[in-house]
Amino acid sequence: MHTKAIFFDLYQTLINVDARREKEGKKAGFEQVIVPYLRQKGISEAEASLVLSRYSDELQTFYKSHDKEIFQHSFPAALAKIFNEYYGLTISDAEMNDLIYEFRKVSRGYLTLYDGVREVLDALAVHHVLAIASHTQGMYTERELDELDILRYFKYRIYSSDIGFKKTSNKFYQTCLEVVCLEPKYCVMVGDNLYEDVYMASQNGMHTVWIMNPLTQEKNKTEIEPEASLPITSIIDLPNIITKVLS
């Protein structure tokens, strides 16, 4: 009997996060966490206050040579480069991890599990390998999964920041399949984005389940037909849907 793997998108699929405040939240994170950190390290107010613009410049430079639709930058790598080049600071991975998580808590807004998620993971973990396939910065997502007490369910965790590719790249899903060492017909991708989670995964031979979330459905106006779909309010029924698509 072949092992079968279920890949999960995270945000607005399993985890409810305030995605509307991305730009505003990033600015708040820099002002309330990164700038004070630099001040504590002896950097002047004038120099520390430039860190956000320097970060924006770093991203602009990165995406001049990397297609933004396909490649994904690493937030900690970019921040570490700025700290070193502009402020003469080198910090440990552990310190960077703590700093970025404090930044994330300020910038993200609310963070909760959708109703039924824990029960679904309990049920699916009995007979399937569970994995994460997320467009995110892995350094803070790992902490959030631990905070929500669901990290333990996932044997594999694939984050766009860690592999350098977004879900809009075939390389992302090829990496997912390589990590679990399974043929795509034995894998299911579950997510709320019709293009990134459904279309791209299906193009790589995987089964798919579209989670219909009112918070993101406006971004999903497309002709793509999902193999299976489920309202976020009925996610407790996901194990039954998984059984059908894998039969």
Domain boundary, last residue among 108, 124, 144 = 108
Question: What's the predicted TM-score (pTM) here?
Answer: 0.93
Q: Tell how many helices (H) and how many strands (E) occur in the chain.
A: 12, 8
Short-list 204, 212, 199, CA closest to 241? 212
- pLDDT in the model for residue 38: 98
**Whether residues 130 and 13 fall in one domain:** yes
**Whether residues 13 and 76 fall in one domain:** no
* Domain carrying residue 167: 5-17+112-246
**Whether residues 133 and 222 fall in one domain:** yes
Query: Where in the chain does DSSP place strands (E)?
Result: 5-8, 15-17, 111-113, 129-134, 156-159, 187-191, 207-212, 229-231
Digitized pLDDT (tens) for each residue of the chain, 247 residues in all: 468 999 999 999 999 998 677 778 999 999 999 999 999 999 999 999 999 999 999 999 999 999 999 999 999 999 999 999 999 999 999 999 999 999 999 999 899 999 999 999 999 999 999 999 999 999 999 999 999 999 999 999 999 999 999 999 999 999 999 999 999 999 999 999 999 999 999 999 999 999 999 988 777 666 788 899 999 999 999 999 999 999 8
Q: How big is the chain by its Cα radius of gyration, in Å?
A: 19
- Domains held by the chain: number: 2
- pLDDT in the model for residue 21: 72
- Alpha-carbon distances of 173 from 142, 145, 222, 229, 238, rounded to whole Å: 20, 21, 21, 20, 21
Give the integer Cα–Cα distance in Å for 203 and 48. Answer: 45
CA atoms within 13 A on the CB side of 179: 22
- pLDDT in the model for residue 23: 76
Instruction: Show the tokens assigned to 209.
Output: 């389940």
Domain boundary, last residue among 62, 83, 108 = 108
Domain boundary, last residue among 76, 108, 140 = 108
Domain harbouring 168, CATH code: 3.40.50.1000
How is residue 234 annotated by DSSP?
G
| Cα angle value 140/28/11 (rounded, 5°) | 40
